[in-house]
């Protein structure tokens, strides 16, 4: 009995050492992850600072460009008036050209539309012709008078019928082209079904 308790104590001691080792490894792993996360946070902070500085530089460059553009526009107002007049003339010419193009487009569209209608009419007439020829084919019915249904007896019924005629199990197996064990099983089922 003492040997049993000592063995049990030894096994429990080994289990305790294993658990301590396992927990120590997990703590070490968590500490490594914590250090990695601190490094990642530091890298992220540095990156955010670099992005902020880049954005500030971009905004300052943009302000400079906007100021230059505003000063350039204030210096040349007469040129802007001339460009507005020429753009009005160009718009009028463009509207006249688009009106001419739209009438041409309407003619082309109506021609294409009429062609499509003709094609649809042709396909409709051919489909009607095909439908009438199919209806005559649909009227054909295969000759069913020559078909005779064959009903086979189940192996169970065949075996019982042959057994009643006085055949042996071997003869029944040969007659039915089945195994001797299968016939024995069928005949045993017959006895259980009848009783």
What is the four-CA torsion angle of 163, 164, 166, 172, rounded to 10 degrees? -20
Are 48 and 83 in a shared domain?
no
What is the DSSP code string of 91-107?
A: HHHHHHHHHHHHHHHHH
Q: Residues 47, 15: one domain? A: yes
**Domain limits for position 105:** 76-128
Interacting residues of 73 by C-beta distance below 8 A, sequence separation 6+: 80
Counting as low any pLDDT under 50, the low residues of the chain are 80, 195
Position 77 scores a pLDDT of: 58
pLDDT tens string 59-91: 899 889 888 888 887 776 555 455 555 555 555
- 18 plus 52 within the same structural domain: yes
Q: Assess if residue 139 is contained within a domain.
A: no
Whether the pTM exceeds 0.85: the reply is no
Whether residue 90 is contained in a domain is answered as yes
Assess whether 70 and 17 both reside in one domain: yes
pLDDT of residue 79: 54
Same domain for 39 and 87, yes or no, is no
| Predicted pLDDT of residue 10 | 93
pLDDT in the model for residue 195: 41
Residues 59 and 91 in one domain: no
Q: Is residue 120 part of a domain?
A: yes
> Considering its fold, how many domains does the chain have in total?
3
Whether 174 and 144 have beta carbons less than 8 Å apart is answered as no
Are residues 16 and 44 located together in one domain of the fold?
yes
The reply to whether 64 falls in a domain is: yes
Q: What is the pLDDT of residue 88?
A: 56
Residue 136 belongs to a domain: no
Residues 124 and 172 in one domain: no
């Amino acid at each position: 009995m003492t040997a049993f308790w000592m063995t049990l104590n030894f096994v429990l001691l080994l289990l305790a050492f294993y658990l301590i080792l396992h927990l120590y490894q997990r703590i070490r792993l968590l500490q490594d992850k914590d250090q990695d996360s601190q490094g990642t946070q530091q890298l992220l902070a540095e990156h955010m600072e670099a992005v902020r500085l880049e954005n500030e530089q971009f905004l300052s460059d943009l302000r400079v460009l906007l100021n230059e553009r505003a000063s350039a526009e204030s210096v040349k107002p007469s040129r802007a008036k001339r460009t507005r007049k020429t753009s009005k003339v160009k718009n009028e010419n463009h509207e006249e050209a688009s009106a001419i193009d739209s009438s041409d487009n309407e003619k082309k569209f109506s021609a294409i539309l009429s062609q499509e209608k003709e094609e649809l009419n042709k396909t409709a007439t051919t489909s009607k012709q095909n439908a009438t020829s199919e209806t005559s084919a649909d009227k054909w019915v295969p000759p069913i008078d020559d078909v005779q249904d064959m009903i086979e007896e189940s192996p169970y019924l065949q075996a019982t019928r042959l057994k009643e005629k006085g055949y042996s199990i071997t003869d029944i197996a040969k007659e039915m082209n089945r195994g001797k064990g299968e016939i024995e099983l069928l005949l045993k089922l017959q006895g259980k079904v009848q009783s």
